[in-house]
Homo-oligomer: A and B are copies of this chain.
């Protein structure tokens, strides 16, 4: 006797999309992925998490196509990151670099041996005509990345920085010169001819929550929003857009965002400066701001200067548990309790 067909109830996933740069964006995204797993374990709806990554930092090294920010997000979310450096792969070896040094090749942008494999696969795929979006998905899937990692564009965009009257390529400034110099301006070469991917558009349109990660507002979030149509897609998305300040206690936790706020935007290096920058530079885009609890004294001033809610959370993410706590807190505050739609 045939059994009656069972009705399978498919759990609805909640769609969350993050705009992320390097390590800060990776940690925030990881926190959301961990929060998603915790929700699933508690019988709640997990997340369909998409991360739109910055490719303005991409470069060619030894003839290989390297996407440092995408890779940092991919390695971090899949448990392969070197958490002590914030870039590269854990359990890494450096044999190729040693030989490249011996051959006199420039190795200031150090690629570890495991990391090289990622760039070999990516480069070969791109040369074979695959889109960056496609090969990124293959790489992330092979590593078990628990999110959909989407380059902001499949076109070539290169962030350049005006330092002492000269435009420098991003990694020349960031890695080679260790972002020591003051940056007067940022531009994104090639961005006028670039388009967001269909996948990025879809991830924004379908999102129930959009998070601008605590990444650099100029060379990470700013680069992503500079792709023609992408800022408009964020603004037009039905989901609330929440921006997390990358400045805590008046300083960037990592990188030059604090100095850039001063030298590029002429603002103070503070969470208030970040919010003011987002408000002025991207009017109508951000619906709420998250600042760190260390900056609680600034909250009233920020609220007085604009209409958006300001939420105070512990954003520093000193360890993996702190990532998850921030992810959980953001979902609690900003993801509506009831899904908007059953997709």
Give A contacts to B, CB under 8 Å. 62-64, 89, 91-93, 95-100, 102-105, 112-114, 116-118, 120-121, 123-124, 127, 138-139, 142-143
Cβ of A121 and Cβ of B105 under 8 Å apart? yes
Within 8 Å by CB of A120, from B64, B89, B98, B142, lies B64
- Complex CA gap A198/B165 in Å reads 48
User: Within the oligomer, what is the number of copies of this chain?
Assistant: 2
Which chain B residues border A127 with CB–CB below 8 Å?
A: 63
Sample (12) of A-B pairs whose CB atoms are under 8 Å apart: A63-B123, A93-B95, A95-B117, A96-B113, A97-B117, A99-B116, A100-B121, A102-B142, A103-B118, A103-B139, A103-B142, A113-B113
- Complex CA gap A121/B61 in Å reads 11
- Complex CA gap A64/B97 in Å reads 16
Which chain B residues border A102 with CB–CB below 8 Å?
A: 117, 142-143
Residue of B nearest to A143 (CB): B102
Cβ of B62 and Cβ of A104 under 8 Å apart? no
Cβ of B117 and Cβ of A99 under 8 Å apart? yes
Which chain B residues border A104 with CB–CB below 8 Å?
A: 142
- Complex CA gap A91/B98 in Å reads 12
Within 8 Å by CB of A114, from B92, B95, B118, lies B95
Residue of B nearest to A138 (CB): B103
Most chain B CB inside 10 Å of its own CB: which residue of A112, A116, A120, A121: A120
- Complex CA gap A127/B97 in Å reads 20
What distance in Å separates the Cβ of A282 from its nearest Cβ neighbour in chain B? 37
What distance in Å separates the Cβ of A57 from its nearest Cβ neighbour in chain B? 21
